[in-house]
C-alpha cells in the first residue's frame, strides 16, 4: 500500500512539473492518452476535437498501442488514460465502460461469400487471411475463434494497419475480419464486400482505464469525464 501511494505521489510530482512547464509555454494542462487502433479510427477524432474546442489550453499526447500494452502503460503510470478492448486482462486498474463496435467479414467484391447476409467464422477459415500483425486484440480474437473450430488461420499476409488490410483484401489476397466502422465507408472504393459476422463475439466492447481516478491531474480528470459523457 505504501509503495502504491509513493508511486502516485511521484507521478503527481511529475505531472506538476509538466503542468508548470505548460503554463510557461502558454498551455495549461497535459494529458497522456493511449488508445488501440480501433478506438482511434472509429471514436476519437470527433471526441478529441470537441474536447479541444472546450479546452484549448490542454495538450493531449496520444500513443497508438495494442490493448494489452495500454493496460501495462496505465499500470506503470506511463499514461493517464487508456482506451482498450475489454477482452484483455485489466484487473490492476480502474475501468469504466465505453463504446462498442461490430466486427464483420471483409471479402473481395465478387467473392463466393460476398452475397451472403451473414457468415459464421467457420465459413471464412478455408480461405487465406489478411491479418493485423500479432499482438492486436482483434488478431487474438479471430485466432481463438479458429482454434475453437480445431483450425489455425491460414495467414497469407500480415500488415500493420486497417488500410493495409483493406487494400490487400481488395486485391484478392485473402479475406479478413475488421470493425465495420473502419471498413464500410471504403468498401466501394476498395472493391470490397462487407458481410455481417454471425458470432456473438463480433460485438466488441471497449473500456476506459486509469490507474487511480482520484490521483488524476485536473486536465486528465476533465478529459476522463468528457470521454465518459461521450460514451
Question: Where are the domain boundaries for CATH 3.40.190.10 in the chain?
Answer: 2-99+205-230, 102-204
- Which pLDDT value is given to residue 12? 83
CATH topology of domain 102-204: D-Maltodextrin-Binding Protein; domain 2 (3.40.190)
Residue 153: CB atoms within 10 Å: 19
Helix (H, G, I), strand (E, B) or coil at 172: coil
pLDDT 10s digits, 185-195: 999 999 999 99
pLDDT of amino acid 26: 44
Mean pLDDT to the nearest integer, 59-76: 94
For residue 145, which phi and psi values (nearest 5 degrees)? -65, -35
Question: 2-99+205-230 has which fold?
Answer: D-Maltodextrin-Binding Protein; domain 2 (3.40.190)
Q: What is the pLDDT of residue 17?
A: 79
Tens digits of per-residue pLDDT, 17-33? 776 765 655 457 889 99
- Express each pLDDT in 113-148 by its tens digit: 999 999 999 999 999 999 987 678 888 889 999 999
The chain-wide mean pLDDT, for the chain, equals: 91
Encode pLDDT of 142-178 as tens digits: 999 999 999 989 999 999 899 999 999 999 999 999 9
pLDDT at 101 over 90: yes
pLDDT of residue 136: 81
Torsion of CA 12, 14, 17, 20, to 10 degrees: -50
Give the torsion sign (CA, 12, 18, 22, 23).
positive
Amino acid at each position: 500500500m505504501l509503495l502504491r501511494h509513493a508511486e502516485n505521489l511521484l507521478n503527481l510530482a511529475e505531472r506538476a512539473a509538466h503542468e508548470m512547464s505548460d503554463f510557461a509555454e502558454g498551455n495549461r494542462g497535459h494529458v497522456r492518452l493511449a488508445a488501440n487502433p480501433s478506438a482511434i479510427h472509429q471514436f476519437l477524432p470527433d471526441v478529441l476535437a470537441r474536447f479541444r474546442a472546450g479546452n484549448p489550453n490542454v495538450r493531449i499526447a496520444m500513443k497508438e498501442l495494442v490493448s494489452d500494452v495500454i493496460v501495462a502503460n496505465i499500470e506503470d503510470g506511463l499514461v493517464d488514460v487508456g482506451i482498450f478492448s475489454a477482452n484483455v486482462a485489466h484487473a490492476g486498474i480502474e475501468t469504466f465502460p465505453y463504446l462498442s463496435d461490430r466486427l464483420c467479414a471483409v471479402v473481395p467484391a465478387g467473392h463466393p461469400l460476398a452475397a451472403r447476409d451473414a457468415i459464421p467464422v467457420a465459413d471464412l477459415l478455408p480461405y487465406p487471411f489478411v491479418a493485423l500483425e500479432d499482438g492486436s486484440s482483434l488478431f487474438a480474437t479471430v485466432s481463438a475463434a479458429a482454434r475453437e473450430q480445431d483450425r489455425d488461420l491460414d495467414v497469407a499476409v500480415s500488415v500493420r494497419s486497417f488500410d493495409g488490410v483493406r487494400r490487400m483484401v481488395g486485391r484478392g489476397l485473402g479475406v479478413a475480419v475488421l470493425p465495420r466502422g473502419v471498413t464500410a465507408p471504403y468498401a466501394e472504393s476498395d472493391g470490397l464486400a462487407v458481410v455481417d459476422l454471425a458470432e456473438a463475439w463480433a460485438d466488441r466492447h471497449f473500456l476506459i482505464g486509469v490507474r487511480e481516478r482520484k490521483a488524476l491531474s485536473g486536465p486528465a480528470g476533465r478529459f476522463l469525464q468528457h470521454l465518459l459523457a461521450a460514451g
